[in-house]
Amino acid sequence: NAGVTQTPKFQVLKTGQSMTLQCAQDMNHNSMYWYRQDPGMGLRLIYYSASEGTTDKGEVPNGYNVSRLNKREFSLRLESAAPSQTSVYFCASSDRTYYGYTFGSGTRLTVV
Amino acid sequence: GENVEQHPSTLSVQEGDSAVIKCTYSDSASNYFPWYKQELGKRPQLIIDIRSNVGEKKDQRIAVTLNKTAKHFSLHITETQPEDSAVYFCAASKTGGSYIPTFGRGTSLIVHP
């Protein structure tokens, strides 16, 4: 039982490059989320998907896009990376029976 | 929207002491309050949660209390150990609709041996 799996774990990008962060969960959860974590800022929601086929903006969506590929997978795309997007990114999932989040192991992204 | 304030931002204790972290929330409709522990370089992990129909919940050395009238909830850790050192996040949400919790900014707990 892997829980929530994120790839890659580390990534260095040059300004203007694009990349996709992958997230998959095997807990049959309906809802999935992408957060970024910066020092002193806590966890800030980028996008979420309440159920398969739906996505919505969170607190800090600018510069990102998402795709809920199926019930298991939720990807985050940076089309043109900027240094301000240097952060640790966490994917999470939850369901309507047990509302607590299960987080992935995180992706440490550096944009130079 | 919901606003969650968490205090203190840093807490330093000696091994064996108790630690208390407090959070206040603004939306009286919030009814689910989880706490997450994040060790250095690791993912946040749910350690305990409480729903608004309960005033207190305990799990071994950790407990959470909720005061709905005052709109605050607290995490209590007794007999602290060095492995309790981590950042702790509180959150508040409503268990309906899209369920999006609002997180506190986190408390860095340091337990000195």
Contacts of A89 in chain B (CB under 8 A): none
A53 in contact with B, Cβ within 8 Å: no
| Whether the predicted pLDDT of A98 surpasses 70 | no
Cβ contacts from A onto B, under 8 A: 47
Predicted confidence at residue A97, as pLDDT, reads 64
**What value does the CA radius of gyration of chain A take, rounded to a whole number of Å?**
13
pLDDT tens for B99-110 read 788 999 999 999
In sign, the C-alpha dihedral spanning B25, B31, B37, B43 is: negative
Q: Residue B48: closest CA among chain A residues belongs to which residue?
A: A100
**CA-to-CA distance for A61 and B28, rounded, in angstroms?**
27
Residue range A85-95: mean pLDDT, rounded: 95
| CB spacing of A106 vs B32 below 8 angstroms | no
Give CA–CA dist A102/A95, Å, rounded.
10
**Which residues from B are below 8 Å from A50, CB to CB?**
98-99
- pLDDT of residue A57 exceeding 90, the answer is yes
Contacts of A42 in chain B (CB under 8 A): 89, 103-106
* Interval A38-54 mean pLDDT: 90
Concatenated DSSP letters for A43-90?
A: EEEEEEESSTT--EE-S--TTEEEEE-SSSBEEEEESS--GGG-EEEE
Residue pLDDT, tens place only, B33-53:
999 999 999 999 999 999 988
